[in-house]
Amino acid sequence: MIGKLVRPMQLLKTAWILPIALLIFLSALVPNSHGAGAVSVRAELSRPEINAGEAAELQINVSGADGAKVPQEIAVEGLQIRLTGQSTQVQMVNFKVTSSAVYSYIVMPQRAGKFTIPSISVQTDQGTMQTRPLTFSVVDSSGAGQPSSAAAPSFPQPGMPGFSQPSRAVRQRSDSPNGGQLAFGEITCSKKTFYAGEMIPVEIRYYFNANYPGVRVTSNVDFGSEGLLVERTPDPKQSQEDRDGIPYLVLTYHTLLSAVKPGPIDIPFVKLQTQVQLPGAVPPGFDAQLIQQMMGGQNPFVQTRDLTVKTAPLHLEVLPLPKEGKPASFAGAVGQFDIDAMVANPKPAPGDPAMLTIKIGGKGNFKAMGAPVLTETDGWRTYPPADKFDSSDALSYEGVKSFDFTLIAQEQKTNSPGSEFSYFDPVAEKYVTLATKPLPLKASPASGAASPTPIAAAQSTPQQGGKPSPTVTAKVGEGEPLSTMTLHSWKTPAQRSEFLIASLGMLLASVSLAGILQFRRYQTQQGSASSRRRRLASLWSSLNSESLDAAASYDAALEYVELLGASENEAELAALTARRDALKYGVGGSVMLAGEERARLIETLRKLPHKA
């Protein structure tokens, strides 16, 4: 019941939509049903005055017309004005439909001065209309105020569509309704006066108008300055920031600067090559807003252009390191450091080297840092150290640098050498010398070892910079060339096919040997059985042939019984033995055995059980 009531209510609620839609449809079908005779054309500049190098926006607003035709470019001496886009708006008030179109131009000044943009002819379906002339001032940018003291927005855009002056700077895009710049850069330096060799952290920020999100960085940060050492720039950090109410995408780069030579250094700019996507000109007759809606918010007329963003110039002053008070162990380190030492193997075998590691930690110019100088090296042979740097930040400004010294004892030693390291502290503006004491160890020279060659002597002095010189003008001691020659393979025997073949051969030989032995064993076993059978047959034949005398017959009978199995026929064996002995050692052994006795003997033997 309730369901039946609800449905008519819903129909009543939605029923009004249909006639309204029908009305709109009909009004759209009726030609010139809207605002006939109320066509107006108006031209406006976004700003009446801009700085040289900036851009302004010119809009032509056409209302009350179905369509309009505007010029692609407007010729004004000293200005370049080009159509960049179009938008259309349709409104219905009291069933009266009105439409307005806005045509946007970018105005690029080529020089400073006052300009007049003349009347612009706009062709509409109601006829040709004229805009009012507009005055426009361009102020020389050299005296213009900047967004901040360190900023120098200068944006030459070599490839802006239709502009022939690539070296001119651009700050603003026409599509930015509240003004603002397309991109600019800022550089922040912690100090502008520093010492030669000192590392100065620098921050460079590039701002890109967030209304143009299609920005792509195509190069690394470029300091176009000589006499300046710039560390590798890590990847920038991205953030967003508002300036004068305009949102900007900010790329922040951090790096380190240093200089070798004292004197002034001028950095004209720090530039970044990028590509930006700018809205391109909409072909006449297209509604930019409509097309953008159809493309899902994407502007199909986007043009990608190269854009170089630069910072303001920066003046730096490089001071020379003071000559007075420079320690002998100073090797170019500038910063703030501490020192530590350790021996990796305090009890090396006689003749083996000990490894002394000196660790320099802190912040400063680690790359230019020379090795510490070893002290108290008597009785040691030392070599230039190998170094390794473990950085604790991305810029390699802070960290620990280890120097590994190889030490070979020339005599019995109980302490390692000490070390000394000097650096210049730019904060305290003075040289500082750090030292480590000799560390306890037990090292002795090799007993009976070959005396050190002159090579070692030539290398025994540690070198600055920790870079060993491998070129050794050697004078070889007793090394004489060998006149005999043996041949060896580069491969181990196990890697060679011959070894594998030989191993397989041995395996085969073992299997063959096993087979042969097994076969022989079988043959032997089989052979003894058959010979036993043959002997039994021979004895049986002799006993029956009456060719044997009495003693020999009993001998044969005894052997026959033994072959059949002595243990199983013990009683017969004893009886036969007794009779044989009686015949052999008594009387009648040499005569032929009587027929009865022979028959009895053979019968006895026949009854004996056979061995299996």
Partner 1 sequence: MMRMRSFLYLLFIGFSFSASLRAAVSDDLFTANQSLSTGHPAEALAAYQSMLDSPDLSKFSSPELWYNRGLAEERSGDAIKASLSYRRALLLDPTLLPAQTRLSSLLASLGIPASKNWTDRLFLMLHPDLFILGGAILGWLGVLLFVFFILSTPRRPGLIVLTLLAVILGHGLTLFGAWNDPRRLATDEAVVTVRNAPTLRETPADSSKADGTLAPGSLVTILSRNGAWWKVSGGAASTGWIPSTAITPLLPAAAGS
Binding segment (CB under 8 A) for partner 1, from list 170-178, 203-211, 282-290, 511-519? 511-519
Q: Closest approach of Cβ 521 to partner 1, in Å?
A: 6
Identify the residue among 479, 586, 595, 609 touching partner 1 (CB under 8 A): 479
User: Using the rule CB under 8 A, is 500 a contact of partner 1?
Assistant: no
Number of CB atoms found within 10 A of residue 582's CB? 15
Q: How many residues bind partner 1 (CB under 8 A)?
A: 63
Q: Closest approach of Cβ 494 to partner 1, in Å?
A: 4
Query: Which one, 242 or 480, has the nearer CB to partner 1?
Result: 480
Query: Which one, 15 or 485, has the nearer CB to partner 1?
Result: 485
User: Using the rule CB under 8 A, is 450 a contact of partner 1?
Assistant: yes
Interatomic CA distance for residues 400 and 420, integer angstroms: 16
Q: Closest approach of Cβ 473 to partner 1, in Å?
A: 5
Number of CB atoms found within 10 A of residue 127's CB? 9
Interatomic CA distance for residues 426 and 320, integer angstroms: 11
User: Using the rule CB under 8 A, is 494 a contact of partner 1?
Assistant: yes
Q: Closest approach of Cβ 520 to partner 1, in Å?
A: 9
- According to DSSP, the β-strands at 430-436 and 418-425 are antiparallel
Query: Which one, 428 or 487, has the nearer CB to partner 1?
Result: 487
Quick check: 96 and 35 in contact, CB under 8 A?
yes
Interatomic CA distance for residues 325 and 320, integer angstroms: 13
Measured CA to CA in angstroms, residue 63 lies from 34, 82, 119, 177 at distances of: 11, 21, 17, 20
Q: Closest approach of Cβ 391 to partner 1, in Å?
A: 7
Total residues found in the chain within this entry: 612
Identify the residue among 3, 245, 285, 481 touching partner 1 (CB under 8 A): 481
- Contacts of 385-389 with CB under 8 Å at 24 or more apart are 385/358, 385/462, 385/466, 385/468, 386/466, 386/468, 387/466
Instruction: Strands of 537-599 (E only): list them.
Output: none
Identify the residue among 387, 420, 555, 572 touching partner 1 (CB under 8 A): 387
Identify the residue among 9, 482, 571, 612 touching partner 1 (CB under 8 A): 482
Identify the residue among 147, 313, 379, 468 touching partner 1 (CB under 8 A): 468
Element (H, E) at 531: helix 497-545
Query: Which one, 224 or 493, has the nearer CB to partner 1?
Result: 493
Write out the binding residues for partner 1, residues 214-253 only, by CB under 8 A: 232
Q: Closest approach of Cβ 450 to partner 1, in Å?
A: 6
Residue with token string 């029923």: 15
Interatomic CA distance for residues 96 and 564, integer angstroms: 139
Identify the residue among 447, 473, 531, 545 touching partner 1 (CB under 8 A): 473
- According to DSSP, the β-strands at 49-51 and 134-139 are parallel
User: Using the rule CB under 8 A, is 306 a contact of partner 1?
Assistant: no
Q: Which residues contact 159 (CB under 8 A, 6 or more apart)?
A: 166, 305, 306, 307
Identify the residue among 260, 474, 574, 594 touching partner 1 (CB under 8 A): 474
User: Using the rule CB under 8 A, is 448 a contact of partner 1?
Assistant: no
Residues 176, 179, 182, 188, CA torsion sign? negative
| Structure-token pair, residue 233 | 């720039």
Write out the binding residues for partner 1, residues 519-548 only, by CB under 8 A: 521
Identify the residue among 87, 433, 453, 604 touching partner 1 (CB under 8 A): 453
User: Using the rule CB under 8 A, is 332 a contact of partner 1?
Assistant: no
Binding segment (CB under 8 A) for partner 1, from list 118-126, 304-312, 482-490, 548-556? 482-490
Query: Which one, 384 or 426, has the nearer CB to partner 1?
Result: 384
Amino acid at 403: F
Identify the residue among 5, 18, 485, 571 touching partner 1 (CB under 8 A): 485
User: Using the rule CB under 8 A, is 388 a contact of partner 1?
Assistant: yes
Element (H, E) at 2: helix 2-15
Interatomic CA distance for residues 93 and 348, integer angstroms: 99
**Interface ranges with partner 1 (CB under 8 A):** 232, 352-353, 355, 367, 381, 383-389, 391, 396, 406, 408, 450, 452-453, 455-456, 458-459, 467-474, 476-477, 479-495, 499, 502-503, 506-507, 509-510, 513-514, 517-518, 521
